[in-house]
Each structure stands twice: as structure tokens, then as C-alpha cells.
């Protein structure tokens, strides 16, 4: 084979490698994994909570959660408990890795959620009564194309 044929093969191989690398990049960029979507959803929820945007965080709840308490009650309670009772001055949080769970129930004998992701959340508060941390497993699932938040009420 002559050198012109070898250089053409090298160019074609190089182009193929670039195309494959670009396809992989686009796949992972455009189609985030469910685990990533779950973590991003929980992070967004707690950013709203941290900023006191409780109306926005309430909107992120699964319909089952919205049945537990109406929006007005949630807005009053969240602000009242943490800001008024505990006089919280700062709030930070961290998230751990998401874990897929199947056939999960928010509470005993409730409708089964086929697939959800458990994301452990560490919420750190500083306030009148000192520093304290709440560790809570938060669940995220997709409902009609939207990622939503659930809390665990099982006994």
C-alpha cells in the first residue's frame, strides 16, 4: 500500500474517533442519568429551602406530599419552626450519592412508587439553641416528565 493510502486511512480513523467521542459526549450531556436528575432535584429543593423560598420548594413536592399539607400551611410551618422557634441564623446542607429504590411506599399502605432515588441529606443549622444537624433520606422520582420530592413517613 502506498503512503497516500495509509495517510487516508489515518485521517478516516481520526475522524471516526472524533465522531465517536463527540457522540459519547453528547449522549452524557443531553441525557443525564436518573441518579444525576434525582440529585439535582434534591439540590434545587434545598437551595430553595436555604433561601427561604418555601413556595418554590413546595411546588417541587410529589402530589402525595401536597396532600399531606397545603401550600399555606407549609409556608408558615417551615418559616415558623426553623426561623422563629430555633432562631436559625445559618443553614447549610450536603448531599450523598443517590441510591435507586424500587416499589417504594411513602407511608404504609400507600400507593407504590415503582422507581425512586433515595438521597441522604445532611442539614446543618446554627441558631439560638446551638448547632445541630438533621439527617434525612429524601426521595426523588419522575412524575409526568418532572422530577419531584418525597419524604419518608413509614413507621
- Residue 88 maps to which CATH number? 3.10.450.100
Give tens-digit pLDDT for 84-136.
777 777 789 999 999 999 999 999 989 999 999 999 999 998 888 888 899 99
- Contact indicator for 70, 58 with CB cutoff of 8 Å: no
Q: Are residues 20 and 75 in the same domain?
A: no
Q: Are residues 91 and 142 in the same domain?
A: yes
- Predicted confidence at residue 3, as pLDDT, reads 63
Q: Are residues 59 and 98 in the same domain?
A: yes
Q: Are residues 20 and 42 in the same domain?
A: no
Give tens-digit pLDDT for 48-72.
998 889 999 999 999 999 999 899 9
Q: Are residues 55 and 88 in the same domain?
A: yes
Between 32 and 141, the higher pLDDT residue: 141
pTM: 0.78
Query: What does the radius of gyration of the chain's CA atoms come to, in whole angstroms?
Result: 23
Q: Cα 145 from chain centroid?
A: 14
Residue 94 DSSP SS3: strand
Q: Are residues 7 and 63 in the same domain?
A: no
Q: Are residues 97 and 49 in the same domain?
A: yes
**Structural domain of residue 60, as residue ranges?**
34-151
Q: Are residues 93 and 131 in the same domain?
A: yes
Q: Are residues 75 and 118 in the same domain?
A: yes
Q: Are residues 24 and 41 in the same domain?
A: no
Say how many Å lie between the first and final Cα of the chain, rounded: 75
Amino acid at each position: 500500500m502506498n503512503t497516500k493510502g495509509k495517510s487516508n486511512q489515518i485521517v478516516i480513523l481520526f475522524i471516526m474517533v472524533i465522531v465517536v467521542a463527540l457522540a459519547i459526549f453528547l449522549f452524557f450531556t443531553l441525557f443525564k442519568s436518573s441518579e444525576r436528575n434525582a440529585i439535582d432535584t434534591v439540590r434545587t429543593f434545598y437551595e430553595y429551602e436555604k433561601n427561604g423560598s418555601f413556595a418554590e420548594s413546595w411546588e417541587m413536592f410529589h402530589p402525595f406530599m401536597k396532600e399531606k399539607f397545603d401550600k399555606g400551611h407549609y409556608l408558615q410551618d417551615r418559616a415558623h419552626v426553623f426561623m422563629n422557634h430555633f432562631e436559625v441564623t445559618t443553614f447549610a446542607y450536603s448531599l450523598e450519592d443517590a441510591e435507586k429504590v424500587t416499589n417504594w411506599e411513602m407511608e404504609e399502605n400507600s400507593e407504590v412508587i415503582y422507581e425512586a432515588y433515595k438521597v441522604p441529606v445532611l442539614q446543618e443549622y446554627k441558631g439560638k439553641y446551638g448547632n445541630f444537624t438533621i439527617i434525612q433520606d429524601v426521595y426523588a422520582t419522575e412524575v409526568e416528565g418532572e422530577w419531584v420530592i418525597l419524604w419518608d413517613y413509614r413507621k
